[in-house]
Structure 1
Amino acid sequence: MFSQLKKITRALRVPTQEERELAYLNNSVDRIDLEYRQRQIDRGLFRNY
């Protein structure tokens, strides 16, 4: 019973800002794309105002 509840809560959990940033960086294709994505994050792509 509790294991099913844990699975449901994990599936509905909203990723944190750091998790979203890391996933965005991990999807980069090459070094240039990675540097571009890092600059985007530094400029506030994932910031919530």
Structure 2
Amino acid sequence: MNHYKLASMVPEKMIEKYDEYLPEALLDEGFGRRAFDIDGTLRWVGQVKALVVQ
């Protein structure tokens, strides 16, 4: 899963002033990058997993 795919599932992505003029694919890309930190989440899950396994 990546930020683009996650954002494509969000029904309302228009946040910025001119978002209404952008195509859906560009909205998905921008919203996904702003709203989701996939790499950070995976690092956090790895850290929690390491604590639980100990």
Please give the range of the TM-score, normalised by the shorter of the 2 chains: 0.3 to 0.5
Q: Which has the higher contact order (CA 8 A, sep 6+)?
A: 2
Provide the TM-score with structure 2 as the length reference: 0.30
Provide the TM-score with structure 1 as the length reference: 0.32
